[in-house]
Amino acid sequence: MIELKHIDKRYDGVVALNRADLNIEQGKLVVLIGPSGCGKSTLLRVVNRMVEPSAGQILIGGKDALDLDPVLLRRSIGYVIQSGGLFPHLTVRENVAVVPQLLGWDKARRLRRADEVLALVQLEPQRYGARYPKELSGGQQQRVGIARALAADPAVLLMDEPFSALDPISREQLQDELLRIQRDVRKTIVFVTHDIDEAIRLGDKICLMRDGAVVQYAEPDVLLRQPADAFAALFIGQEPELKRLARHSVADFMRRAGTGAGGRVGGALAAGAAGAERVALHTSARAALSKLLGGQAELVVVDGAGEAVGHLVLADFALTP
Ligand SMILES: Nc1ncnc2c1ncn2[C@@H]1O[C@H](COP(=O)(O)OP(=O)(O)O)[C@@H](O)[C@H]1O
Ligand SMILES: [Mg+2]
């Protein structure tokens, strides 16, 4: 879907990108990660030509992006930055409708669409549509930023550290939201972060960069288990297996209630469940393991819609789902 070939970018003397290569498949969420100044934002902005490369080729859907009108190209690609980047003098609804307006949609259509995408990011249009950005929390502003990027239904979404300024709880909520939205809309997403946990949680693939070049481009499990070199290993940091667990929900590992022949699962549950910690189905396997280790029982019970739908014992976390 997006092919970046041998991209160079120099700013008199500074090499921002050095023969960077990246292939992004349609419908995938690819995370660019690496230390500050390694060229993540520059590579992201090459995709919609907010940065013009010094050399190299950009193909989007097989078309050479350097042949396209940069203004039209930019309008056809959603872009989300840190701290929303919302226009302070426009209401939430007007902010979301900015690109549809540039594209010449009539008013009724763009307001209808604005309300549709606001609902998609879980902001009730009736309640929030007429507010101004300063009347929203940081997390809500980021939701509006995502809604705005989705408004004209672009095939590609670029996100540059969109959650970096948020507190840890809002950040985790927004990560969940993004994954949920992505299951619905299946955009091709390029997402920049410097946080390895965020990268592992969100990425279908992770592109690790250093000094303007790609060090390793791989699925999170592969990056964690087989870092390409000492720099990659250092960047991933301690406890790669725990980081791997963070990517999976307990649903991937649990023993399902009622699936054991002759009530084996049910029996085990009844025997060991007294005082067991309970977690929700979407809880990360890492968080559930932490609960298990900190709890009194030898299993954790998984709740779905108010009833126990499964459980996990310590050995279950060693399985590769
Ligand atoms: N407009 C610019 N002018 C000069 N140097 C720039 C410009 N934009 C980026 N750079 C330099 O290019 C390198 C990569 O920057 P950037 O892509 O923003 O890094 P990252 O997003 O990974 O932190 C840095 O050394 C930065 O200082
Ligand atoms: Mg940056």
CATH of the domain at 163: 3.40.50.300
Show which of 232, 247, 262 is a domain's final residue.
247
Check: CB of residue 319 under 8 Å from CB of residue 285: no
178 and 197 co-located in one domain = yes
Tell which one of 8, 11, 46 to mutate to probe ligand 1, the residue whose CB is within 8 A of the most ligand atoms: 11
- CA 273 – ligand 1 centroid, Å: 54
SS3 3: strand
Instruction: Report residue 18 as tokens.
Output: 């050095």
Q: Average pLDDT of 292-298?
A: 89
190 and 306 co-located in one domain = no
Any atom of ligand 1 within 6 Å of the Cβ of 75? no
CA 178 to centroid of chain Cα atoms: 6
Any atom of ligand 1 within 6 Å of the Cβ of 207? no
Gap between the Cα atoms of 205 and 52, Å rounded: 25
Check: CB of residue 216 under 8 Å from CB of residue 227: yes
* Residue 34 alpha carbon, nearest atom of ligand 1: 22
pLDDT of residue 99 exceeding 70: yes
- CA 41 – ligand 2 centroid, Å: 4
Smallest CA separation from ligand 1 atom 1, residue: 11
Show which of 214, 247, 280 is a domain's final residue.
247
pLDDT at res. 279: 93
Gap between the Cα atoms of 178 and 172, Å rounded: 10
Total domain count, the chain = 2
228-251: pLDDT as tens digits = 999 999 999 988 888 888 888 898
pLDDT at res. 246: 86
pLDDT at res. 217: 98
pLDDT of residue 137 exceeding 60: yes
Smallest CA separation from ligand 1 atom 4, residue: 11
pLDDT of residue 262 exceeding 60: no
pLDDT of residue 14 exceeding 70: yes
- Output DSSP code: residue 89: T
Check: CB of residue 190 under 8 Å from CB of residue 167: no
pLDDT of residue 208 exceeding 80: yes
213 and 258 co-located in one domain = no
Give the number of the ligand closest to the Cα of residue 162.
2
Gap between the Cα atoms of 33 and 205, Å rounded: 11
Which residues face 14 on adjacent strands?
11
pLDDT at res. 126: 96
- CA 195 – ligand 1 centroid, Å: 18
- Return the closest-CA partner of residue 255 out of 264, 267, 265: 265
Smallest CA separation from ligand 1 atom 3, residue: 11
**321 pLDDT tier (thresholds 50, 70, 90):** low
18-77: pLDDT as tens digits = 999 999 999 999 999 999 999 999 999 999 999 999 999 999 989 999 999 999 899 889
pLDDT of residue 264 exceeding 50: no
237 and 265 co-located in one domain = no
Q: Average pLDDT of 120-127?
A: 94
Instruction: Report residue 207 as tokens.
Output: 């592109």
Cα within 13 Å of Cα(120), Cβ side:
24
- CA 81 – ligand 2 centroid, Å: 10
- CA 260 – ligand 2 centroid, Å: 50
Q: Average pLDDT of 131-159?
A: 94
Show which of 184, 212, 247 is a domain's final residue.
247
Gap between the Cα atoms of 19 and 75, Å rounded: 27
pLDDT of residue 263 exceeding 50: no
Any atom of ligand 1 within 6 Å of the Cβ of 216? no
- Return the closest-CA partner of residue 290 out of 222, 255, 239, 217: 239
84 Cβ contact partners less than 8 Å away, ≥ 6 residues apart: 133, 138, 141, 142, 144, 145
Gap between the Cα atoms of 138 and 52, Å rounded: 31
**268 pLDDT tier (thresholds 50, 70, 90):** low
203 and 311 co-located in one domain = no
Q: Average pLDDT of 287-303?
A: 91
pLDDT of residue 261 exceeding 50: no
Check: CB of residue 249 under 8 Å from CB of residue 290: no
CA angle 32, 150, 280 (to 5 degrees): 70
226 and 133 co-located in one domain = yes
280 and 216 co-located in one domain = no
- Sheet with 277-280: strands ordered across: 255-256, 307-313, 299-304, 277-280
pLDDT at res. 259: 57
Instruction: Report residue 140 as tokens.
Output: 């809500």
- Return the closest-CA partner of residue 280 out of 294, 291, 265, 269: 291
Longest CA–CA span in the chain (Å) reads 73
185 and 224 co-located in one domain = yes
| Predicted model pTM | 0.88
Tell which one of 4, 14, 47 to mutate to probe ligand 1, the residue whose CB is within 8 A of the most ligand atoms: 14
Burial class (CB in 10 A: 0-12, 13-18, 19+), 116: middle
- CA 16 – ligand 2 centroid, Å: 11
Q: Which domain holds residue 260?
A: 250-318
Any atom of ligand 1 within 6 Å of the Cβ of 11? yes
pLDDT greater at residue 287 or residue 258: 287
- CA 301 – ligand 1 centroid, Å: 48
